[in-house]
Chains A and B, each alone.
Chain A
Amino acid sequence: MQYQWDFGFLLQYKALIGVGVLYTVGFTIATALSGLVVGCLVALLRLSHLRAATWVVTAFIEIFRCTPVLVQLVWCYYALPILTGLELTPATAAFLTLTLYGASFYGEIIRGGIISVDMGQWDAGRALGMRRSQLMRRVVLPQAMRRMVPPLVNQTVLQLKNTSLLSVLAVPDLLYQGQLITSASYRPLETYTMIAVIYFAILFPLTRLAHRLEARPGH
C-alpha cells in the first residue's frame, strides 16, 4: 500500500510551530552573541602571556570541543546541581551550555584570525607608538575580521542546528514542538519533513551570505 502524504493537518499546529521557531531562533541569537563575547575573552586570554590563564582557557576549549554537546547539556542540567547545589532551569542550563560550547569554537576562530595578521602589521603599529589596545582596535582586528566572518557565520549555522538538542531538556524549540505534534498526530514523516524545511529556510540564506563573504576579495 502506498503511503498517503498529507501536510494539511499541520496548519492547525501553526501556533505551536511558531513558538518553536521563536525558541530556536531566539536561542541561536542569544547564544551566538554571548558565545562571541566569551569567545573574544577566550581568544585574548589564549594569546596573552599569562601562562596560568592560557592553560585554564586551553583546557576549557578542549573539554567543550572534544565532548558531544548533547552530553554537555544533560550534564549541565542534571549533574551540575548535584555537584554544586545550583538549581538551573532547563532554559538556563541550555543557554549556559550553548554559550560555552559556542565560545570554545568562536574563540579558536577569533584567535586564528588575529594570528593570521602579518607580523609586519604589528611592527608598524608598535613603531608608531600604539599601545596594545590601540594596535588591536585600529590595525589587527579590522584585518582579522574579514578573515573571521565566514567561519564565524558557519559556526553560527552549526549553533542553530545544535539548538535542536534543547528538546532533551524539554525546552520547546522547533524539534521539541515537532515531537509534540508527532505524538498527537501520529504523522512523523510530514512533521519532520516540515521541521527540516523550516531549518533549511532559515539557514540557507545564512550559508549563502557566508559564501558571498568568502568570495569577496580581501587581504
Chain B
Amino acid sequence: MSLQPDLMLWLALAPFVAALFAPALVRRIGSSAGWVLAIVPAALFLMFVTMVPQIAAGDTVSYGVDWAPSFAVRYSHLIDGLSLTFALLVTGIGTFIVIYAGGYLSGHHQQGRFLAFLLLFMGAMLGLVIADDLVSMFVFYELTSITSFLLIGFDHTRAPARRAALQALVVTGSGGLALLAGFILIRVVSGETSVSELFASPDVLRDAALYPAIFVLVILGAFTKSAQVPFHSWLPNAMEAPTPVSAYLHSATMVKAGVFVLMRFSPVLGDTALWETVLPLFGGATFLTGVLLGVRQTDLKQILAYTTVASLGLLVMLTGVGTEYALAGAVLYLVAHALFKGALFMVAGAIDHETGTRDITILGGLLKSMPITFVAAILGCLSMAGLPPMIGFIAKEVLYDGVWEAGGVSAVTVTALVGNALMFALAAAVLIPFFAKPGELPKKPHEAPPSLWLGPIVLGVLALVGAFMIEGTAHSLISPMTSAIAGEAVELHLHLWPTGLYPPVILTMITIALGIVFFIFFKTLRLLMVDLLETVGWGPDVGFDQLMRGLVKGSHALTKRLQSGAMQQYVTLTFVILAAVLLLPIAVDGLPDFRFVGEVDQPFDLVILGLAVAGLWVVIISKSRLVAIVSLGVQGVMVALIFMLYGAPDLSFTQFMVETLSVVILALVMTRLDLKTVDHRLPADAMKDGVIALACGLGFALVLYNTVQQPFDDRLSQFFLKHAYEIAHGRNVVNVILVDYRALDTLGEISVVMAAGLAILALIRMGPRLKSAVVGPPADRADATRVGAEPSAATIAAERPS
C-alpha cells in the first residue's frame, strides 16, 4: 500500500471537511464550485485505485485507532475486495455526481447547502463500506440515513418532499436500530467487536443459540435500507429529491448499503437454511414487485426508481442463493447497476432540466436535440436490458449460471427470467423520449451543458470498457469481491461472448424474446397494472401513513392522560411514587434491629431539635401561607445549625444560603400567584396530602436510619483527606471534590443550574401570556386559565431541590 494506514483513516474523512467549505465556496465562485469540490472524491478514488493490485493479489488490510477504548469501540478500516469495490463506486460515481450537481442546481440559492449535504453523505457512505469495527459501521450506517433525510427533504417547502424525507428516515432509521441490536447480540455471542475478528472464527455465530435473533435483526436493517418488500415504498417516494441525489444515493450507493451489510456478513451469517430461504424469498418478491410497479409509471424517474427496487431485490435474492456463480452474478450486477442506473438517472435529470418534464407520454424527438445525452442513455439502457456488449450482459449471463447451477428450473430461475424480461421492457421504455413523436413540451429542448452529460457518458463508457476488458475487471474487482462475500478465495474466468449453447444462453434468449413481447404490449400492460393497483387500493405506502397517524393519535391520547396540566396532580403523583420507592424496599427487606447511634452530648442539640419541631408545627397549623413559608425556613436553618455543630461547615453554609433564598423566592412567588393568602383545602384533601407527606417523611427517616446502621466504609474519605492537599493543593476537601476530583460532575451541575434558570425565567415571563395561549388541543381550552397559574407553581417545585 502506498499510503500510511494512519493517514488513510483521516483521509477517508476528507468529504466531511469538504462539506464544511462547500457553502463558502459556492458563495465565492458560484456553481463552478462543483468542479472544484469534485477533486476530493476524485483524489480518494485514485487513492483506492492504487490499492487494487494488492487486494487483487488476495490481501486484506485492516488498521484503526481506538475511539472509545473503555467500550472497546474503534475507528477502523477493513479493506478487502468487497469494501474496495464499494469504495471505488462511492468515490468514482461521487466525483461525477458532485460535478453534475454543480450544473444541475446552478443558480439555486441553496446550492452550497446541497453540495455540503452531498459530501456529508459521501463521507458517511465511504465510512460505512470500509468500516471494520461494528459500532463505527453502525454510526456511519445511521449517518447515511440522516444525510439521506436531509437530501430528500432538501426542497423542504414542498409537503411531498417533507413526507418522503420523513418516511425514508423512519423506515431506514428504525432498520438501523435493529441493526444496532443485531451488532450488540453479535458482540455478546462472539465477544468480537470487528468484522475482521469475526471472519477469523466464522462458525461462532451460526452455531449460537441466538443465531435466529441475530439473523432477523441484521436482515431487518438490511431490508429497510435496501427497500425490500414490504419496506420498499420509501425509495420511489425518495425521488422527490433533486436528481443528483436520486442518481447517487437512491440507485448507485446508499440503497446498496443493505445489500452491502448482507454481503459483508454472508461469510459469518450465510450458508444456513434460514439465510437461503428468507433472502431469496424476499429478494425475489421485491424483484417482481419492483418491475411490475415500474411498468405502471410514466415518470422517467419513477420508472428508474422501481427498477432500482427490483434490482435490489435481485441482489438480495442472489446473495441468498449463495453459490459461487450466484455471488459473482450479484457482484457483477451490483457494479453494472451502479454504473447504468447512475448514468440513467443523470440522463433523466438532464432531460428534465432541458425540457421541463419527465413524462414519457409527452416526451419525444430528443434524439436530434440531445444527441450526446442520447449516447449516454443508449449505453445505460443496453446494460440495463442485459444486452451485449455491456457489463450488464455479462452480469446476467453469470447470474443465470448461478441460479441454474443452484437448482435448474426452480422458482428462483423463473423469477429471474420474468423479472429480467420486464427489466428489458422498462429499459426500452426509458428510450421512448428519444424516438417518440414529441408532445407539448414545457421548454424547447437543446443539448445539456457538459457538467450534465459528462457523468453519464463516462459511466456508460466504463460499462462498455469493463465488458470488453472483462478478464482484467474480473481479476482486479469481481473475483476479490466475490471472494470476500463467499469467505474463501474465488478465481473467476469470465468472457464477454458466450462460447456455446449453455442453459444461461438459452435463458438469455428467452428473456430477450419475452422482453420484446412485453415492450410491444407495454401500454396494455401499464393499464392492466393501473387497474389492478386501483382494485387493491392499499399498499405499504398507505400503511405507513396509517401507522404514523395512529402513532400521533396514540401519543396524543397518552399525553392527555398523563399531562393533565394541573400542578397538584403532578406533585401528588411525584410524592406518592417517592414514598413508594422509599417504603417498598423496607417493607420487603424489613428493618435492622434498632440501635441508637449518635448521642446527644450537647444541650444545644435539644434546643435546636425543639425549634425545628416548633417550626414544622407552625407550618402545619398556620392559616396564612406566608407564615408557613417563613416557618419552614426556621426548620431549614435549624438543620443548618446541626450541620455546623457536627463539623460540616460547608454543608451548613450552603444550607443557610439555600434556605434563605428559598424563603425569599417562595415569598416572591406567592406575591405573583392569584392565590388567597389563606389555605382553604377541604378536610378530606388536607387529610390525603397529610398522609402522603407523612409517608414521605417516614420513608426518608427509615432510609436514613437504615443507612447509619451500616458500618461506615471510610476508605474514600480517607483517600480524599490524605491526598486533597498533596495532589490538589487544597485543604478544604469538600471544595477540592467539587472543583477538582469531580469537576466533570460540577460542570454538569452548573449546566443544569443554567438550563433550569433559563426555563424558570421563560415560565415567569410567559406567565401572563399563557392565560390566553391555547395549550393542547382545542377541547382543552377550558383548562387554559388553570394552566396560567401553573408556571409560578412550577417555579416552586423547581426551586425547592436546589
**A and B interact physically:** no
Could you tell me which B residues sit within 8 Å of A by CB distance? none
Could you tell me which A residues sit within 8 Å of B by CB distance? none
